Amino acid sequence: MALDEQGSFSVLDAFIEGGGNCIDTADVYGQGASESILGRWMSARKNRDRIVLATKLGFPMGNDPTARGLSRRYILQEVEASLNRLQTNYIDLYQAHGDDSATPLTETMAAFDELVQQGKVRYVGASNYSAKRLREALSVSDQHGYVRYSCLQPPYNLVNRAPYEGELEALCLEQGQREPSGLMC
């Protein structure tokens, strides 16, 4: 059950009052409604500077077959749409919601690097990636001097631990030991 805007504001207020500061959303949650409500809340509360804001892109948006993926064109288009909905000029953590095997990793990582260089995004992360593709993305970033994924958001809970525990966990530990600013897990 989705909350209306007033209910959402109440939950967000309680979250902040309780000491929380990191809010994670995605463009596809409510087809942009989640980002829009969050943007209106931050604007009304004038608290953007106290929020660590994470959002994601890449999963299909609506019925438009081109509104998905991690192509440069779509990343640059969708970051602007998210920034507008969120009523902010930067995103703290912008994540690939899932892998896009149809787009070369060099194109994806170059686009993310461009957003960081422009100051629209502070950090980039990966969600729902296999260890193999995550390793490839990190390698592409290293080879070309692009920003690296600094965060991984895998499917993980007490019931379903297997997707993370194994190759992904090993990769995170390896990358974290390789350099202090490596992959955070």
* 39, 46 contact by CB (below 8 A): no
Residue identified by tokens 């409604």 is: 33
| Residue 133, CB-side half-sphere exposure with 13 Å CA sphere | 19
* 85, 53 contact by CB (below 8 A): no
3-state percent helix, strand, coil for the chain, nearest multiple of 5:
50, 15, 35
Residue 29 appears among annotated catalytic residues: yes
Mapped onto helix, strand or coil, the DSSP state of residue 97 is coil
Write the DSSP symbol of residue 184.
B
Question: Which sequence positions are flagged as catalytic?
Answer: 29
